[in-house]
Structure 1
Amino acid sequence: MITAEESPFTLAACAEMVFTDLPLLERVERIAERGLEVEIWDWAGPGKNLKDMAATGAVFGSMTGYVTGDLTEADGIEELLSSARRSIEAAAVIGCPRLNLHGTGLDGRGLPVRPVTEVTGAMWARAALTCERIAALGRQSGVVFTLENLNLPTDHPGTPFSHPGDTRALVAAVDSPHLRMNLDLYHAQIGDGRLIDTCRESLPWIGEIQIADVPGRCQPGTGEIDYANVASALAGMGYEGVVAMEAWAEGDPADALDTFISTFTPRS
């Protein structure tokens, strides 16, 4: 059996989406047993005892970096920065180095709290300034904030700065090692396609890559994306960073993780 240690990438899995019949702490332990980093969503959500998570000994790679707020509205910006500060404190409990952001706050269904039909030039300018302030928080605290692209047609209609090109533009404008892209290839496939080209264009600014197949948002091999080819292309580009399975398990979760690990351990 191929192990995560054989991959040229640092592999991770989202505990919110696999072993969902188990309590969260047991999911964390199952993922860690496979040699994978563990990712979680909203650290302030019900059932999230960070001290208990830390006691598992798991390596946590990423968690949500805000609770409320957005990048463009005056009150939303201050909410975002305030909750980012609280997120930094929470991340320190579990030793989590990456904190994830979106273009705006999302509700429990993943829909934007403030839907946007058109992103204006003024909104772009305010978002860039907010990202500079976020990067400064990251620098002061020694963490990296990652800005994730989302898809509009299926999961997150009305979310501003949703395309990979949008997140790349904001991250590149700030140009700080404490603000990087979370390039989500599931969302990119639905919204834009061109996954390998998008990876290549984004390479200097990527802090993490997340994956799931399309349609269905399950493990590689359940949909239309040739993730083995994507993995080989990433290795060929010299990417050695994090690849995280943020996907539901179709069938047995242990088998889903096996498939993910083998897919992202390309053979020469």
Structure 2
Amino acid sequence: MSEQAAPSRGPVDIRLAVCAEMVFLDLPIEERVRRIADAGFDVELWDTRKHDVEQLVATGAKFSSMTGYSAGSVIDPDTAPDVLRTAAELIPTALELGVSRMVVHPAELINGQAARPAFRATGQMWLTGLRTLEKLGELGAEHGVTFALENLNTIIDHPGIPLARAKDTLALVEAIKHPNVKMMLDIYHAQIGEGNLIDLLGRALPHIGEIQVADVPGRCEPGTGEIHFPAIARALDEIGYKGTVGMEAWAESDSELALARFREAFTLRRSVPFGAGISTG
């Protein structure tokens, strides 16, 4: 019997968020946040020190994540204390915004690039990363937030960052086994660095705090590149992911269109037998 498409529905228990730093770039940040929230999405932020937090709160938006440190490297013994210090300094902002996930990276970034490039991981880096993440977990537990370690690609966007690949960030989070330390699984970075995305989602599921998406190449919204996001959405539904998927992507042309494409990519469809529900009597 032939089949026809059933009505669409969103992925079960998945919230969609949009990074306000990458869309509606001609507008002030507060207006970007309003546009995103009015469209029905949660909001992701980067460095909140650049913004008027009271005005952001006044928008009434729900904030999903923000950058959780402003200096130092999780894996560098000389600067790891700076990660912990600045993370603690940002906790009040996270609580004011209602943010539950504070994002950290495997190394210090300046304008997106490694502050001190290194091209080989050492045992000391692994140990320092574990100890730093353990302390972040303790800090998070104290204040009711989760620190999410984001994977990065070292081929195009972030060369010189050891332990940045998804398999490495996952290994660190797995080793910690702390409920307030999770993985920010970035699909864009993982596709460039490793691929095999659906298998990665299954392996990382117990440790994912949030998922971020953008298409490859270009880092624009889903549907503009090579990643088949409807398959990603189905995989998330099948493995029972119940968290947030955030679009951390530039708008290829129009920001409203980018949000619509993002929503469409993560809208599931069910096939039903042709004629189902049609009375023949």
TM-score under structure 2 length normalisation: 0.91
Distance 2:56 2:9 in 1: 21
AA aligned to 1:142 is G
Where 1:82 maps in the other structure, the secondary structure is: helix
Matched, 1:58 2:65: no
Displacement of 1:148 = 0.2
- Tell me the alpha carbon deviations over residues 41-67 of structure 1, each in whole angstroms, 9 at most, x when there is no partner: 01112xx00111001100001000000
- Tell me the alpha carbon deviations over residues 197-223 of structure 1, each in whole angstroms, 9 at most, x when there is no partner: 110110000000000000000011100
Structure with greater strand percent: 2
| Residue of structure 1 in register with 2:88 after alignment | 85
Q: Tell whether the 8 Å contact from 1:231 to 1:263 is kept in structure 2 after alignment.
A: yes
Displacement of 1:3 = 10
Distance 2:8 2:23 in 1: 18
| Residue of structure 1 in register with 2:108 after alignment | 105
Structure 1, unmatched stretches of 5+, are none
1:72/1:162 CA distance change after superposition, 3 Å:
closer
For the aligned residues, what is the CA RMSD? 1.5
Displacement of 1:75 = 3.2
| Residue of structure 1 in register with 2:21 after alignment | 16
Q: Tell whether the 8 Å contact from 1:3 to 1:34 is kept in structure 2 after alignment.
A: no
| Residue of structure 1 in register with 2:43 after alignment | 38
Task: Give structure 1 regions of 4+ aligned residues with deviation exceeding 3 angstroms.
Answer: 2-8
AA aligned to 2:214 is A
| Residue of structure 1 in register with 2:158 after alignment | 156
Q: Tell whether the 8 Å contact from 2:10 to 2:268 is kept in structure 1 after alignment.
A: no
Distance 1:166 1:258 in 2: 33
Where 1:183 maps in the other structure, the secondary structure is: strand
AA aligned to 1:21 is D
| Residue of structure 1 in register with 2:225 after alignment | 223
- Tell me the alpha carbon deviations over residues 64-122 of structure 1, each in whole angstroms, 9 at most, x when there is no partner: 000001123333111110000011111112111110000011001x1111111111112
Distance 2:202 2:178 in 1: 19
Distance 1:89 1:170 in 2: 26
Displacement of 1:6 = 6.9
Based on CA coordinates, which of the two structures has the bigger radius of gyration? 2
Distance 2:38 2:23 in 1: 14
Q: Tell whether the 8 Å contact from 1:102 to 1:149 is kept in structure 2 after alignment.
A: yes
| Residue of structure 2 in register with 1:73 after alignment | 76
Structure 2, unmatched stretches of 5+, are 1-6, 271-281
Distance 1:147 1:54 in 2: 25
| Residue of structure 2 in register with 1:198 after alignment | 200
- Count of aligned positions: 264
